[in-house]
Amino acid sequence: MDIKLNCLVLYKSNPARVTRTTGSEKLEIELHDGGSKSVRHKDIQLIHEGPITKLDLKKNLSPKEDILEICSLIEPSSVNLSELSELLYGKATPQTNWSAWELLNDNLYFKGTIDKIEAKSEHEINEIIAKRNAKAAAEEEKENLISRIKNFKIVPDDTKFMREIEQFALGKTPSCHLMDQLEIEQTQEKAHELLLRTGYWNNFVNPYPERFGISLKSSLGSDISKYHLADEERKDLTQFEAFAIDDEGCNDPDDALSFDGKFLYVHIADAASLVTPGSELDASAMNMAASLYLPERTLPMLPAGVNELFALGFSEISPALTFKLTLDSDNNSKLAEVFPSYVKVKRMTYVEAEELLDSGNFKSIYELTRQFYNKRMTEGAIELIFPESKIKVDGNKIEIKNIPQLKSRGLVEEAMLMTGQAVADFAIKNNIIIPFSTQSVDDDIIVSNNLAGMFNCRKKMRAALIQTSPERHSGLGLAHYTKATSPLRRYLDLLLHQQLRAFISNQPLMSEDEVSKKITFIQSFAREYRALESNSNRHWTIVYMDSRKWKGEAVLVNKYDNKGTFIIPELAYEFKLPIDREMELNSKIMISLNGINLPYLNCYFQVTI
């Protein structure tokens, strides 16, 4: 390549002029932007020998003939750059050679190198034009889409693009290219906000289940015929009245109570008779960890067919694992016997049970559980009573019911705690490895019987722990405790039942290492499940308030500087609000909803009184 002074060369796809050729192995060139650079011969390509004094090259010169005709002249041979320039423009100058190179570089009509240029066929050219037109149309469509999204005026055809943002908002993808093009921070909350503002979503879309990998659209199934009871001896307790007391609408009743004048019988759904360690059902239940109770629906830990087979009261006669309990002279709960049974269960709500507390076996059971309750209180148990509500969502209908504090609810809770204490002591006595629940409480915690006092007490309490070594559960006022009464709903309860059944039937038990690994696995889900249920409940409560332009009463339960934490008892909803007046804890104010930020689960209120 004969490089002369003031010749036109190609450097990194741009034109350059050679300004020095001697005195060095390198060349000095003037760049298209006015700068200069020292380069090697191999870094440049000759476009025209020149001379050229200024790099003021024009773009898009018009060929003297139709380019397709020129292509037909070249086929099937080849030309160099200067020859192509003469064919296109009638002469080979620095300007025409540069324009010819631009056409070559455009890759539409020509292909090859500066020294050997071939013409593309008309078919190839048409294909490239079609692809470029499609690309240009797509880019124009994307620009129009971005404009519509920014102005929150999307059209039905934008659905395919909005799904990209939706998938990111639901945690299905780690990033969103479209949000990047929109120059919006890539967070799930920002994506949620955008979907709401464009109208692609409305407030009735709850993103939290899918963010946790849970689909609310999956079919539960209900094939009870594929599940069968094990062939084993069961005690017939159908002569006793047995009552399963639950909230209205409960679909998995797994405990019932009987009383024979001396002993309290706590009957628990005997799922462990079918769901044995290491079985397919066991693995499925363990992966689910617990039933999920969301406002839209319940996702059971076990298949619907298993629930139907073992849920107490679903059939005229139900299989159960029965715990025969009594209180010792110190009112500690003791397990007299545990055995598989058949029971005849009558289902009722807490409200229905409340009306029976002063009669028959209900009165005896209530008195027995109150003795146990009083014992726990003398042992330092901490009782925190907060407003509770139950949220139910059916399509666009949201229902929130406040859960009343009933004696019947306390009766059932104490019976379950009695079972937990008695089973824990039974396991310790017989060296059965089970998941014990423990909790330590600081000595300086003061329990109050008002809402603010209980709120601040809860803030100071440590979380309960699940472990294989028995320790005191100070929060419950029990020397030892385990959760034993919900094997249809909680996997660790099911695990405990598996161990008890193995013990009473003289079968091998799981080792401490096996139980510990299962506890660790289940606990890894616990925080996520609590967050999922909490976020879903908060989401629907906010939507409920917004749809009704809610106003009502709130109670101050904590304050710091000029801010306070309030609870709305009617909805069991906590929120923070600036305080612009002197207020005592437990003071009540009237407020009204002033706005929401649903993606961030925030509400804004104004004080009305």
- CA distances to 282, 287, 324, 468, 471 from 520, rounded to whole Å, are 16, 12, 31, 11, 18
Q: Do domains 1-56 and 549-607 have the same CATH topology?
A: no
Q: Which residues pair with 147 in a beta bridge?
A: none
pLDDT at 24: 67
What pLDDT, on a 0 to 100 scale, did the predictor assign at position 117?
Answer: 95
CATH code for residues 1-56: 2.30.30.140
123-201 folds as: Arc Repressor Mutant, subunit A (1.10.10)
Peptide bond into 51 cis (omega under 30): yes
d(CA 283, CA 279): 6
Per-residue pLDDT, 472 = 95
Give CA–CA dist 550/535, Å, rounded. Answer: 20
The pLDDT value given to residue 484: 96
Instruction: Please state the domain extents for the chain.
Output: 1-56, 57-120, 123-201, 234-536, 549-607
CA dist., res. 348 & res. 411, Å (int):
14
Alpha helical stretches, state H, 480-586: 491-504, 512-548
Output the pTM of the full model: 0.81
DSSP state of 490: B
Q: Apex CA 340: angle with CA 337 and CA 345, to 5°?
A: 105
Helices (H), 81-213: 81-89, 94-106, 122-150, 159-169, 177-181, 188-197, 208-211
- For the domain bounded by 549-607, which CATH number is listed? 2.40.50.140
CA distances from 124 to 79, 113, 130 (A): 19, 18, 10
Q: Say if residue 343 is exposed, middle or buried (CB neighbours under 10 Å; 0-12, 13-18, 19+).
A: buried
**Predicted local confidence at residue 222, as pLDDT:** 55
Whole-number Å distance between alpha carbons of 407 and 279: 40
Q: Which residues of the chain register pLDDT less than 50?
A: none
Neighbours of 44 (CB within 10 A): 19
Q: Is 123 helix (H, G, I), strand (E, B) or coil?
A: helix
